[in-house]
Amino acid sequence: MLSIGKLGQAAGVKVPTIRYYEQIGLLHPAGRSEGNQRLYARDALARLLFIRHARDLGFPLDAIRDLLALQDDPHQPCAAADAIAQAQLQAVNRRITQLTALRCELEKMVAQCAHGSVGECRVIEVLGNHDLCVHPDHDDGDDAVTDHDHALAPRS
């Protein structure tokens, strides 16, 4: 049996994160010692390492929950796990495309900077005027932010 501190140390995860994963159901509730200290079985370490690795790969918590449910029933086909991984791969590819465009825009802003006064600064100018950007679409796929921004804008 492992205390929460030992479990966290073994998995490279902070104690509050373990408590959170337990609270949201990713980790099974720990047993308790007579002193009410959480005690985890060795299989909790394997599960926590799985969660940590999935998080390192950028999987959202809901996808991890689904993957853990699949792992808990190993006799079912892996098509669902493949679909979850494919969706994550697509999300990573979208993010790479966005980051590549952002890198290009930043490189151009920095290259065009005359290193003079702020009044002549190309970085400040481009950040203040989207029409000067290399790529016209700054959308990161989060429409809620755009909708929220529009909701705050004065109506004419």
pLDDT in tens, 12-24: 999 999 999 999 9
Q: Which of 56, 61, 52, 63 is nearest to 88 (CA)?
A: 63
Q: Which residues of 36-50 are buried (b: 16+ CB within 10 A; e: fewer)?
A: eebebeeebbebbeb
Question: pTM value?
Answer: 0.70
Rounded to 5 degrees, φ, ψ at 2 are -120, 140
Locate the domains of the chain by residue range: 2-57, 79-152
Q: In the prediction, which pLDDT does 13 show?
A: 95
pLDDT in tens, 54-92: 999 999 999 999 999 999 998 989 999 999 999 999 999
> What fold does the segment set 2-57 form as a domain?
Multidrug-efflux Transporter Regulator; Chain: A; Domain 2 (1.10.1660)
